[in-house]
């Protein structure tokens, strides 16, 4: 083999290594994305792989255990209901296929509303400064000290018709304070950098500097914050639903848990009724946590152990 051929082979191998040596091939981010994608696909493909109408009351036999479990006080399990049923005649597989994506949808909408408000308010406070910063910072600090769950319980108890969109918007209106403080801190450090000074000297508008120069540089941090806000919104929604303050017409994971609690499923030994939605919540929270951790490592070389040459 000639020297030129050996050089070409080495160059090709180094190009392949460079192609794969990217921070986006982060194991935590990939595993978390797969877990979250699994929940999303449940909502998209669930109606095609299972009859989701079985999530309605009275659509199935009562109190059937899963097919791998037998209980002396309940009827024999049935292959037609592999995850069992509950005492109102809802199929658990259909309820999970419908409820998990809808709980995730509530978290997405609430986090999007909170993050949208946080981006606008955080950039305004950090870049404009002065009285604008003082007002926004004071409001954010005040909201962060308020017991939000207690207020949400009061609001939800007075709202007669609670659907997914209504609950998500209510949660989102209390989810902007954290992103606002995070973005404000990032903007305060960025606005003193050279390229921002140069943009100001070139006559760029305030809007252009904030959302065309600064925003792209903090997108990984915003994505990690968004994943954390989705988890917080799902947890808050599940807490409200477990208290019976969620959407009663639409099955969600929290409402499944509420029905199990109100029917004494734990005392009756119906572990599949409350256990399966908890497992789904663990999958969602774990996936979002891994995504947030992976995005932090992608945005921060020190977290992923990258050393300067």
pLDDT at 20: 46
pLDDT at 165: 83
Asked whether residue 267 carries a pLDDT value surpassing 50, the answer given is yes
For residue 243, being part of any structural domain is answered with yes
Confidence of residue 127 (pLDDT cuts 50, 70, 90): confident
For residue 305, being part of any structural domain is answered with no
CA distances from 85 to 98, 246, 256, 278, 282 (A): 14, 21, 12, 16, 21
CATH assignment at residue 93:
1.10.3720.10
For residue 65, being part of any structural domain is answered with no
Number of domains observed in the structure of the chain: 1
For residue 15, being part of any structural domain is answered with no
Confidence of residue 307 (pLDDT cuts 50, 70, 90): very low
Return the DSSP state at 11. Answer: H
For residue 164, being part of any structural domain is answered with yes
For residue 1, being part of any structural domain is answered with no
What pTM, to 2 d.p., does this model score?
0.83
Segments forming the whole domain that contains residue 202: 26-51+83-299
Place of tokens 């070139």: 202
pLDDT at 217: 80
The candidate with the shortest Cα–Cα distance to 215, out of 298, 136, 130, 116, is 116
Q: What is the pLDDT of residues 10-32, one digit of tens each?
A: 545 554 444 445 666 788 889 99
For residue 6, being part of any structural domain is answered with no
The candidate with the shortest Cα–Cα distance to 182, out of 234, 232, 220, is 220
Q: For residue 88, give the 3-state DSSP assignment.
A: coil
For residue 126, being part of any structural domain is answered with yes
Token pair, residue 38, equals 């699994």
CA distances from 41 to 45, 230, 295 (A): 6, 18, 22
């Amino acid at each position: 083999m000639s020297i030129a051929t050996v050089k070409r082979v080495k160059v090709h191998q180094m190009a392949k290594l460079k192609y794969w040596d990217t921070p986006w091939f982060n194991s935590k981010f990939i595993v978390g994305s797969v877990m979250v994608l699994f929940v999303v696909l449940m909502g998209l493909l669930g109606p095609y792989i299972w009859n989701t109408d079985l999530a309605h009351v009275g659509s199935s036999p009562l109190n059937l255990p899963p097919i791998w479990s037998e209980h002396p006080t309940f009827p024999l399990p049935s292959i037609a209901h592999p995850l069992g049923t509950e005492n109102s005649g809802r199929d658990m597989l259909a309820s999970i296929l419908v409820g998990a994506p809808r709980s995730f949808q509530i978290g997405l909408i609430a986090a999007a509303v909170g993050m949208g408000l946080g981006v606008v308010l955080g950039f305004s406070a950090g870049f404009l400064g002065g009285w604008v910063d003082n007002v926004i910072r004071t409001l954010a600090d005040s909201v962060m000290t308020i017991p939000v769950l207690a207020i949400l319980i009061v609001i939800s108890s007075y709202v007669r018709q609670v659907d997914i969109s209504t609950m998500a918007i209510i949660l989102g209106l209390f989810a902007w304070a954290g992103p606002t403080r995070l973005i404000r801190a990032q903007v305060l450090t960025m606005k003193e950098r050279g390229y921002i000074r140069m943009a100001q000297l070139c006559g760029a508008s305030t809007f252009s500097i904030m959302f065309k120069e600064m925003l792209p540089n903090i997108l990984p941090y915003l994505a990690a914050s968004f994943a954390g806000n989705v988890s917080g919104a799902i947890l808050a929604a599940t807490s409200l639903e477990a208290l019976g303050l969620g959407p009663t017409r639409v099955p969600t994971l929290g409402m499944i848990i509420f029905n199990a609690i109100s029917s004494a499923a734990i005392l009756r030994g119906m572990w599949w009724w409350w256990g399966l939605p908890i497992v789904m919540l663990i999958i969602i929270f774990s996936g979002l946590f891994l995504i947030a951790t992976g995005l932090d490592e992608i945005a921060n070389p020190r977290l992923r152990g990258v050393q300067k040459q």
